[in-house]
Amino acid sequence: MTCNSPPNARKWLFFPAPHRLKDLNEHTRNERKKDTCMTLLRTLIPALALALSAVSPLATTTAQAEPLRIILDSPVIEPLPFAIPQFIAENGEAGQYAADISRVIASDLVNSGLFREIGSDAFISGITSFDAPVAYNDWQAINAQALITGAVSASGDRIVVKFRLFDVASGQPLGEGLQFAGTPGSWRRMAHKVADAVYSRITSESGYFDSRVVYVEESGPKDNRLKRLAVMDYDGANVAYLTDSSAIVLAPRFSPNGESILFTSYASGFPAIYIMDVATLGIRSLGEQPGTMTFAPRFSPNGQTVVFSLERGGNTDLYTVDVGSGQLNQLTNAPSIETAPSFSPDGSQIVFESDRSGNQQLYIMPANGGEARRISGGPGRYGTPVWSPRGDLIAFTKQNEGRFHIGVMRTDGSNEGLLTASYLDEGPTWSPNGRVIMFTRQGAGAEGQPALFSVDISGRNLRQVPTNGPASDPAWSPLLP
Amino acid sequence: MAYTTKALMLMAVLGLAACNNPDRYGAGGGPGDGTGAGGIQTGGLGDASDPRSVAYFNQTVGDRVLFAVDQSTLSDQARATLAGQAQWLNTNSDYAVIIEGHADEQGTREYNLALGARRASAVQDFLISQGVAASRMRTVSYGKERPVEVCSDESCFSRNRRAVTVLSIGAGA
């Protein structure tokens, strides 16, 4: 095999199917020997090889009756103190991985705003062996409520990460020990999977750490902005670029299975929507109609339909296009602007914005068109509605009295809550578990750069997401397999 | 190197698109006001004192009209400018035009794209009413993607809420 022709490389760039695991494993092993030619591939792939990991229980202890618990809907959440002694390196090769994986797990948990790490300088006892009994008293004494222990072994192209979670107060394990196996390039994904398991056991909801975000990276002055599509882990690591910046690109969106990305590009000179195969980076146009402009695309939950805006003669309406056949279907027919459509998770309805009342407001209609009901009712203008993956909330951008906000409301328009306020916040996207929203925040003036921020749906834990440069239009992937 | 190959292929695809591209903001294109290296403006502006030149159209006739906040209605001043544009275009029938609609940054990206399209279309409709053939014109919206002024107050916003009539010779729409 040569550097120029890695067989099957396209198949495993992002999310390999489980039945391909054996092939992937062999391929990865071969490819890793070509260290010099792997550098670029690594930037795209770190994720992948993890799919070949097996998950096997180490113990069968059952959780006690009243487990350690965070109730996410509580009005006040005090971050839960946890300790994570550096994972044990079970052989010399595993040393750096053990250290790095422990740090990524801690970082995921702390960044969620739900957990507080107790530093190792406070530890009374250490963990010398993954299977040794836990000295609960020593962890109770430093007020740790959760203890995460783990071990990493590495040999060649395979590393194995094991972990256990303990409820310190009750002196019992919380759930079974688990292990993840994968290639060294997927070590961060294994760490995210451990953190997701911890999050899930303590909150009783699925996590969101093992996920990616597609977005637009920006450069250059504001009056001649260069934009290109990029994808990264949810926490800003492992950035890879999907297009160059020869044409303006806007608002990428993942398909429900994470294998395709919709986006709007000016590559033809006119804004039009395209679909990219993430594995091959191949692109094709979608819903193209001569003399029109298409934009604001989003997938249906089954991935077979795309809803989008089509402008003709100055008027913008909503259409769907069948991804396979290209069949167009017009959903709205009004002289007003209809745009920013988003499907409900069951696929039966679409929320969108329209200025039919005189300014931008949010409406919900059946997925095949028909009568729409307005759901937004407060002061100001409402745009870019996005249905939450849990189905219960609509996230939106609100403009009122010269400020922009990211907010959420129920699907009937009740219980509106504004989560942020700034000169310009826009374009919310949901974490896979519907608990966190990422969006674009841009400062004012020539030096005002856009950046990605995240915030809980409670309005807590506002954070900037690290990116290589100015960034906008984030869209979260589903949880990776 | 697989990724490099793919990236090059992609760049080739996008690069080709850019060659046929009326987008004066495309690869290597300069900012707004007319002399971008990419796309249709490379034909030369001519001497502004020549009433048949592109420079004369841009500067003396006026290549753009401005709009009020969140509006696409043509003001009296805009109509006067567009009447001049129509007269020039009816005299200089070799030129095709692309009408660009733009918005200021006080709005969401999607809405501003739609708003820019309304503005471009308002200009196109007026030019048609003044006798310019619809087949010579196309519209495109840039929303808030291509401001000409970058400050964040009304002095800049008012100049960014615009529709610009961009000439291209011999490029019948």
Give the start-to-end residue ranges of the domains of chain B: 44-169
B44-169: CATH, from 1.10.533.10, 3.40.140.10, 3.40.50.300, 3.30.1330.60: 3.30.1330.60
Q: Decide if B7 touches A, using CB distance below 8 A.
A: yes
Average pLDDT over residues A255-263: 97
Average pLDDT over residues A358-383: 97
At B26 the pLDDT is 54
Name the residue in chain A with its Cα closest to that of B149: A223
Which one of A223, A293, A442 has the shortest CB-CB distance to B140? A293
Contact B58, B32 (CB under 8 A): no
Mutate to test the interface with B, among A3, A31, A224 (most CBs of B within 10 A): A224
Which one of B22, B31, B114 has the shortest CB-CB distance to A311? B114
Contact A190, A50 (CB under 8 A): yes
Which residues of chain B neighbour A278 with C-beta distances below 8 Å? Answer: none
At A66 the pLDDT is 56
Residue A12, pLDDT > 70, answer no
Q: Decide if B8 touches A, using CB distance below 8 A.
A: no
Residue A44, pLDDT > 80, answer no
CB atoms near residue B86 (< 10 Å):
19
d(CA A439, CA A457): 12
At B43 the pLDDT is 62
Average pLDDT over residues A380-386: 98
Nearest by Cα to A370 from A335, A329, A331, A336:
A331
Distance of CA A153 to the CA centre of its chain: 28
Residue A320, pLDDT > 90, answer yes
Residue A151, pLDDT > 50, answer yes
Average pLDDT over residues A292-299: 97
Distance of CA A53 to the CA centre of its chain: 21
Residue A50, pLDDT > 80, answer no
Q: Which residues pair with A146 in a beta bridge?
A: A82, A167
At A16 the pLDDT is 31
Measured in angstroms, the CA of B137 and the nearest CA of chain A are apart by 10
Measured in angstroms, the CA of B166 and the nearest CA of chain A are apart by 13
Contact A150, A194 (CB under 8 A): yes
Which one of A4, A251, A316 has the shortest CB-CB distance to B114? A316
Contact A345, A389 (CB under 8 A): yes
At A73 the pLDDT is 83
Residue A314, pLDDT > 50, answer yes
Average pLDDT over residues A265-283: 96
At B67 the pLDDT is 98
Average pLDDT over residues A15-21: 28
| Chain A, window 189-218: residues with a beta carbon less than 8 angstroms from a chain B beta carbon | none
pLDDT classification of A27: cutoffs 50, 70, 90: very low
Q: Which helix (H) or strand (E) holds B76?
A: helix B76-91
d(CA A269, CA A267): 5
Per residue in A96-116, pLDDT (tens digit) is: 999 999 999 999 999 999 999
Which one of A37, A40, A223 has the shortest CB-CB distance to B32? A223
At B126 the pLDDT is 98
Contact A340, A352 (CB under 8 A): yes
- Long-range contact set of residues B2-9: C-beta below 8 Å, sequence gap at least 24: B2/A4, B2/A5, B2/A6, B2/A9, B2/A10, B2/A41, B3/A40, B3/A41, B3/A43, B3/A44, B4/A40, B5/A4, B6/A280, B6/A281, B7/A241, B7/A244, B7/A281, B9/A281
Q: Which two tokens stand for residue B52?
A: 């048949």
Cβ distance of A314 and B146 shorter than 8 Å:
no
Q: Which two tokens stand for residue A81?
A: 């103190």
Cβ distance of A269 and B4 shorter than 8 Å:
no
Contact B158, B117 (CB under 8 A): no
DSSP A422: B
Angle, helices A35-44 vs A21-32, to 10°: value is 130
Q: Which helix (H) or strand (E) holds A450?
A: strand A450-456
CB atoms near residue A226 (< 10 Å):
17
Tell me what the pLDDT averaged over chain A comes to.
88
Nearest by Cα to A160 from A21, A53, A33, A27:
A53
List of domains in chain A: 1-52 (no CATH), 57-203 (3.40.50.10070), 213-476 (2.120.10.30)
Mutate to test the interface with A, among B113, B119, B168 (most CBs of A within 10 A): B113
Average pLDDT over residues A405-418: 97
Task: Please report the ipTM that was assigned to this predicted complex.
Answer: 0.86
Q: Decide if B105 touches A, using CB distance below 8 A.
A: yes
Low-confidence ranges of chain B (pLDDT < 70): 1-43, 170-173
Q: Decide if B164 touches A, using CB distance below 8 A.
A: no
Q: Decide if B139 touches A, using CB distance below 8 A.
A: yes
Interface A-B: count of C-beta contacts within 8 A: 173
